[in-house]
Chain A
Amino acid sequence: MKRRDFLKSMTALAAGSAFATPAIWSPAKAQSRQETLLFVTESGPNNFDIHGVGTNRPGYEVSWNCYDRLMSHSKKTLPDGTDSYDRDGFTPELAEEWTTGDMSITFKLRRNAKFHDGTPVTAKDVKWSFDRAVTVGGFPTFQMKAGSLEKPEQFVVVDDHTFRVDFIRKDKLTIPDLAVVVPAIYHSELVRKNATEKDPWGLEYTKTNIAGSGAYKVARWQAGSEVLYERNDNWTCGPLPAVRRIIWRVVPSAGNRRALIERGDADISFDLPNKDFAELKQAGKITVASTPIGNGIWYLGMNAKNPPFNNVKVRQAVAYAIPYQKIMDAVMFGLANPMYGAASNVPTSLAWPQPHGYNTDIAKAKALLAEAGYPNGLETTLSFDLGFAVTGEPLCVLVQESLAQIGIKTTINKIPGANWRNELLKKELPMIVNFFSGWLDYPEYFFFWCYHGQNAVFNTMSYQDKEMDGYIDAARKAAAENDSAGYEKNVKNFVNKAFVEVPRIPLLQPYLNVALQKNVSGYRYWFHRQLDYRSLVKG
C-alpha cells in the first residue's frame, strides 16, 4: 500500500502548499514591495545598446533609462489630465546649458555627472558616443542622419566640459534629434577597453553591459524573462527618481498580464490590447492612461507604381469604400482618433495627423471605379503583418468585406513578422494595411519618409511625384529658415495633395494604452512609446 500512502501525502502537500500563502508577496517582503515597482510587458530587451544590431523596442527602453543624453524634453499635461513629453520644450540632462549659434550649438556639460563606475563624464565621451552613432551603421546612423548629424567632424571637443555640434546644413530637426534615444552618452574608456579588433566600437560589450551614467542600473537580467533595475543614487542629471528598484517581468500571454494587474500583483501593465483596455476602463478599479501616438497612423497603402492602383480614380474609389466607423468600433473599441470625415480634403490646420475628406460612400466609390475603367471591379491581394495581427487581421476582414461591395475582390495575405520588412522593401505588394509612427513629431518629417520621391522603405506605396517632392523640400527649407508663412503654405499643400491622390488612406491614429495601480503616479507618454521610470512614483 506504499504507493497509496505516497499518493495521499503528495495530494496533501500540493493542497496544503497551494492554500497556505495565497499572494505572491509574503509579509516579510512587504517592506521591499513598497520600494519596488513591478511592471509586465509582452516581450523583453534583446540588447541594452540602441547602437546594436537589431536592438528591439524593449531594448530602447533600457537605453533610455540607463543612459543620459545631452538634453531631454519637458513635461506637459494633455487635456484629459495625462502627462506627456512636450515636443517643443527642451530640458538639460547631461548638459546644464547650451547656446545655439547660426551654424552650431555649444553645450556646457555638468561637472558633477559621473558614469556608473564613478568616472566623470567629459566632452570626449560625448564626442566618442556621437562618432559611434554616425559610424556604426544601421538604425542609429539612420536616425542621426534624420537630424543632419552625419559626420564625426561635426562633433568638436572644446574643453573637458564644453562640446560643440557643427551643422552641415540648417535643419529644424537637428536639436530635436539630439534628444531622442540614439545620441546616448557612453563611457568611452570602458567600452574601448572591451572592444576588439573585429568590433572596434565595443557593440558586443554594451549588448549586455551598461556603460552609461543614467538614473537606473541593470542589476540582473535574464533574457526573455526578467530585468531588475536598481536606482543610481549618484545620479545628478535630474531629480532623483522616487522608485528604488524596478522589476520588469515578461509575460507573453495578454490574458495573464491583465489578470496580474487586476489582482494587484503587477503595478503597471504596459501596452495593453484595446479590448482589455476598454474593459478595464469601464471596471474602474485601476488607472488607465491612453495617449494618441504622435505622428502615428494606421493606413491602407496602395502600390502607386503598378496597375490598377497607379490610377488615382481607383485609389479614390477605395478611399470611399473603407468602412471607417466600423473599424473604429470593432477593431479599436473606440480607442483611436478617426482620420476621416473632414469637410474637405483641404487642410484647415498644420496638425498632423489630421482627418481627410473621405467618407464611406459606396455609390460614389462604384461610380469612380467605373470611371476609372473597371465597371466590373477587379481582383487584388490585401497584405498585413502577422506580428500585428490583433489589429491587422480584423481590419483587413472589414476592408475586404466592404471592397467586395464595389466589386473589388481581395484575397487576404498574412505575412509573418520576420518577412514583412523584406516584402515592404520589394515594394511589390498591391495593397497593404500597416502602421507607421515617427519619433520626431513634425509633418514634414512624416512626409519626407512616407511620401517623398526618395522612395524610403516607409514610402510603402512607391509614390513618386515631382510636385509633392517640391512641397516637402520647400517645407523643410522654410522650417530651417524660420519662414513660418512659407512653411504653412507648403505643409497645407502637401497634406492636401496626399489626401486628393490618396496613395495611402489614413484610417486612424491609435492610442498607447497603459494600466497602472491607483497608487502609482507620474506616468508620462514619450515619443519612443516606452516607459520612462524616472518620473514614476509609488504610494
Chain B
Amino acid sequence: MLRLVLKRLLVAVPSLVGVVIVTFLLTRALPGDPAAYFAGPAATKEAIEEIRVKLGLDKPLLVQFVRYTGDLARGDLGTSLTTGQSVATEIRTRLPASAELTLLGLLVSILVAVPLGIVAATRPGSIIDHACRVLATAGVSLPVFFTGLILVYVFYYLLGVAPAPLGRLSVFFSPPPHVTGFYLIDSLIAGDGELFIESFKHLVLPALTLGIFSLAPIARMTRASMLAVLSSDFVRTARANGLSRFTVVVTYAFRNAMLPVVTTLGMVFSFLLGANVLVEKVFAWPGIGSFAVEALIASDFAPVQGFVLTMAVMYVALNLIIDLLYGLIDPRVRIEA
C-alpha cells in the first residue's frame, strides 16, 4: 500500500513540473499588462516602466522564471496585487471555503444521484427512469450561475426562507476559531451550535446549485453501470438462489457497479471546482475561484499561478485517493497495481 502511494506520488512529480512551466508561460502570454493596470489611470509611460521594474517584469522571461521557481521552493507564492495579500495566505484562508462548498455540493449530488441511478436501472423505462433522465439533462444544461441566481431569487428574494447571499456567515457572526477552516467542523469543535446552523444555512443554496449541476454524470453513470452488472451471470445466480431483492441489488450488484461511479466522482469533483468559480461570484463566497478570476481580469500573475498549482496538487491527491479506493472496492485492481 505504502509503495503504491510512493510510486503514484513519484509519477505526479513530472506533471507538477509541467504545470509550473505551463502556467508561468501562459500567464505571460495573456494580453493584459499588469504594470499598465496597476500604474493607475493617470500613469505616463515612465510611470508604467517604473512599476514594471518594481514588479520585476522588466527582466527576461528566463530570469523571471528562475526567480519564481526559487521563491516557490521556499514556499513563497508571491503577492497578489489585487488584494494586497500574499498568495499563500490567500489560498490558505480561501481554499477551505471552496473545499467545504465543493464537498458538500458533491455530497448532495451523490445522495440524490446514486439512489436515483440505482432505481432507474432496476426499473428501466419506468416513470422514475424518465424522471432521472429529465432531471439529469436539466441539471447539466443549466449553467450554474443561472441555477444559483434562480435559487436566490426564489428562496431569498421571493420566499425569504434562505439567508442573504452574503458569503459564509451573516454579518453579525464571527468565524469560529481556525482549526480546519471548514466552518461546519470548526463550529462543532468550538461547541457553538448556533454558528453551526448559521454556516449550514449559508451553505444550503450554493451546495444545492453545485449539486444540481453535477447530478447528471453521476446518475447516468450509476444507471449504466448498474444495468450492465444487473444483467450479468452472478446476479442471475443470486436471484436464482432466492436472495432478497435488496441484497441482490445493494450488496452484490451495487458493489460491483461502484468502480466506474467512483471514477466519475473524481472527474465530477474536478469540474465542480471549476464550476465553483461562478457559484462563488453569485453567493459572494470568499473562495479560491472568485479570487483567481479577479486576479485573471487584472492580469495579476502570482495568484493565477498559485491557483493553478494548488488545483494541480489537489488533482494529484484526488487521483491518488481514488486509486486507493479502487483497491478497497475491487481487490483485483490492487493485485494489478
The interface of chain A, by Cβ under 8 A from chain B, is: 7, 10, 13-14, 17-20, 22-26, 29, 32-33, 36, 38, 40, 43, 46-47, 52-56, 137-139, 142-143, 207-208, 222-226, 247, 249-253, 255-256, 259-260, 262-263, 265-266, 387, 416-419, 421-422, 425, 456-458
**Interface hub of A247, A419, A421 (most chain B Cβ within 10 A):** A421
A262 & B157 in contact (Cβ 8 Å cutoff):
yes
Chain B contact residues, CB within 8 Å of chain A: 30-34, 36-45, 47-48, 50-51, 54, 80-85, 90, 93, 111, 115, 149, 152-153, 155-157, 160-167, 170-172, 197, 200-201, 204, 281-284, 286, 290-291, 294, 297-299
Decide if A421 touches B156 in the complex (CB within 8 Å). Answer: no
Give B58 Cβ to nearest chain A Cβ, in Å: 15
Q: Are B51 and A46 in contact (CB under 8 A)?
A: no
Closest to B149 in A: A255
Whether A18 lies near B201 (C-beta < 8 A) is: yes
- Nearest CB in chain B to that of A256: its residue: B165
How many pairs of residues, A versus B, come closer than 8 Å at their CB atoms? 182
Asked if B171 and A247 sit within 8 Å, CB to CB, the answer is yes
CA–CA, A250 and B163, complex, Å: 16
Contact A46 B39 (CB under 8 A): no
- 10 closest A-B pairs by beta carbon, nearest first, are A418-B32, A54-B38, A223-B83, A422-B36, A418-B299, A139-B40, A225-B286, A29-B172, A24-B170, A422-B33
A256 in contact with B152 (CB, 8 Å): yes
- Shortest A183–chain B CB gap in Å is 16
Residues of B close to A207: CB separation below 8 A:
84
Please name the residue on chain A nearest to B285 by beta carbon: A225
- CB pair B171–A253 under 8 Å, yes or no, is no
The answer to whether A224 and B294 touch across the interface, beta carbons within 8 angstroms, is yes
5 pairs, CB–CB < 8 Å, chain A vs chain B? A24-B163, A47-B84, A251-B165, A252-B290, A263-B160
Q: When A53-B51, A207-B84 are in contact, do A418 and B284 touch as well, CB less than 8 Å?
A: no
Q: Are B172 and A32 in contact (CB under 8 A)?
A: yes
A22/B160 contact (C-beta < 8 A), A46-B84, A249-B166, A252-B284 known:
yes
Interface of chain A: mostly helix, strand, loop or mixed: mixed
| Closest Cβ neighbor of B30 among chain A residues | A418
Known: A25-B170, A138-B51. A259 touches B39 (CB 8 A): no
* A14–B204 CB distance below 8 A: yes
Contact B172 A225 (CB under 8 A): no
| A538–chain B nearest beta-carbon distance, Å | 14
CB-CB under 8 A from A250, the residues of chain B are: 284
User: In the docked arrangement, what's the CA distance between A23 and B283, Å?
Assistant: 16
Report the Cα distance A7→B39, complex, angstroms: 54
Query: A425 contacts B45, CB within 8 Å?
Result: yes
Contact B32 A138 (CB under 8 A): no
Pick from B36, B81, B204, B282: contact of A421, CB below 8 A: B36
Q: Which B residues lie within 8 Å of A23 (CB)?
A: 160
Q: How far is the CA of A419 from the CA of B171 in the complex (A)?
A: 36
Report the nearest A residue to B156, measured CB to CB.
A259
C-alpha spacing A226/B172, complex, angstroms: 12
B111 touches A142 (CB 8 A): no
- CB proximity of A59 to chain B, nearest CB, Å: 9
Q: Are A418 and B160 in contact (CB under 8 A)?
A: no
- For A419, give its contact among B33, B38, B81, B281 (CB under 8 Å): B33
Apart from the given pairs A22-B161, A142-B47, 16 other A-B contacts in the complex at a CB distance below 8 Å = A18-B155, A18-B162, A46-B82, A138-B43, A139-B40, A223-B84, A224-B291, A224-B294, A225-B167, A225-B286, A252-B284, A253-B149, A256-B152, A419-B31, A419-B36, A425-B45
> Which of chain A's residues have a CB closer than 8 A to the CB of B298?
417-418
A26 to B32, CA, bound (A): 45
Contact A25 B37 (CB under 8 A): no
Task: Give the residues in chain A near B81, CB-CB below 8 Å.
Answer: 46, 53-54
Indicate whether A139 sits within 8 Å of B165 (C-beta atoms), given known contacts A223-B83, A247-B171. no
B284 lies within 8 A of A256 (CB): yes
Asked if B50 and A138 make an inter-chain contact with CB atoms under 8 angstroms apart, the answer reads yes
Distance in Å: Cβ of A422 to nearest Cβ of chain B: 4
